[in-house]
C-alpha cells in the first residue's frame, strides 16, 4: 500500500513539472510573437511617417516668415480683388465708421479712375478716419471746410446726409480737381491744390498711409 502511494506521488510530481514546462514554453512563444508583431506595426508606422514627411525634390515648396504687426491688415486670401478686404481690415483696425463702406470706396475709385487708397488716406490725414469731424457733417475729408471770408471766426462746413452720400459726391470731384495726370500718384502735387497752407506734413502723412495700404 505504501509503495503504491509513493508511486502515485512520484507520477504526480513528474506530470506537474511537464505541464508547467509546456505552459512556460507556450507563454514565451506567444510573448515573442506579440512583441514581434508590435515591432513590425511600429516599424510600418515609422516607415509610413518617414515617407509622408520627406520632401520630393521634384515638387516646389516655399518657406514663409510669420507676418509682422505692420502686415496684419494685409489680406492673405487669394481672391480676384483683395482691395476691399485690405481697406476693410485697415478701417477696422482704427475703428472707423467707414468700415462698412469698403466695397463702395474701391468701386468709386475704379469708376472715377484713381488709386483706391486716396479716399482712405485723405480721411485718415484730415479726420483720423472720421473720428474728428464737425457735428452731423459726415465730412471725413476736410472737404469744403474753411473760415468764412467775411468773418474768419465762423467756420464754413460742407455737410452730407451720410458717409455714403459724402463718398459718392466727393469721389468724382477728386478726379476733376485734384487727381489729374501725375497728380494721382504724387501727394506733394495734390497738396498744392488740396491744402496749400501745409508745410509738407500733409503729403508725408498721405504717403505713409499709402504704404500701410499697399
Please give the grid coordinates belonging to residue 121. Answer: 488716406
Question: Residue 7 has what pLDDT?
Answer: 61
Domain segments of the chain as ranges: 1-61, 69-213
d(CA 63, CA 193) in angstroms, rounded, equals: 46
Residues 106-127 have pLDDT tens digits of 999 999 988 999 999 999 999 9
pTM: 0.60
Kindly report, residue by residue over 168-205, the tens digit of the pLDDT.
999 999 888 887 765 567 888 889 888 888 889 999 99
Percentage above 90 pLDDT, the chain? 39
- Look at residue 61 and tell me whether its pLDDT is greater than 50: no
Half-sphere exposure of 26 (CA within 13 A, CB side): 6
Q: Share the mean pLDDT of the chain.
A: 75
Q: Which CATH number describes the domain made up of 69-213? A: 1.10.530
Smallest CA-to-CA distance from 120 within 95, 91, 94 is with: 91
Amino acid at each position: 500500500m505504501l509503495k503504491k502511494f509513493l508511486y502515485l506521488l512520484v507520477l504526480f510530481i513528474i506530470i506537474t513539472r511537464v505541464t508547467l514546462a509546456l505552459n512556460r514554453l507556450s507563454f514565451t512563444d506567444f510573448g515573442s510573437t506579440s512583441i514581434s508583431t508590435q515591432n513590425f506595426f511600429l516599424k510600418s508606422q515609422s516607415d509610413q511617417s518617414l515617407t509622408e514627411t520627406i520632401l520630393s525634390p521634384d515638387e516646389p515648396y516655399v518657406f514663409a516668415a510669420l507676418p509682422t504687426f505692420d502686415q496684419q491688415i494685409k489680406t492673405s486670401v487669394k481672391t480676384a480683388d483683395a482691395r476691399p478686404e485690405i481697406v476693410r481690415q485697415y478701417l477696422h483696425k482704427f475703428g472707423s465708421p467707414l468700415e462698412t463702406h469698403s466695397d463702395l470706396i474701391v468701386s468709386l475709385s475704379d469708376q472715377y479712375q484713381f488709386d483706391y487708397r486716396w479716399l482712405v488716406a485723405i480721411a485718415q490725414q484730415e479726420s483720423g478716419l472720421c473720428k474728428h469731424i464737425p457735428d452731423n457733417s459726415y465730412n471725413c475729408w476736410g472737404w469744403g471746410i474753411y473760415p468764412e471770408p467775411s468773418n474768419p471766426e465762423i467756420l464754413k462746413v460742407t455737410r452730407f446726409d451720410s458717409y455714403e452720400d459724402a463718398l459718392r459726391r466727393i469721389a468724382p470731384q477728386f478726379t476733376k480737381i485734384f487727381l489729374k495726370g501725375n497728380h494721382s500718384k504724387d501727394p506733394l502735387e495734390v497738396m498744392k491744390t488740396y491744402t496749400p497752407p501745409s508745410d509738407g506734413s500733409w503729403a508725408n502723412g498721405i504717403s505713409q498711409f499709402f504704404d500701410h495700404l499697399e
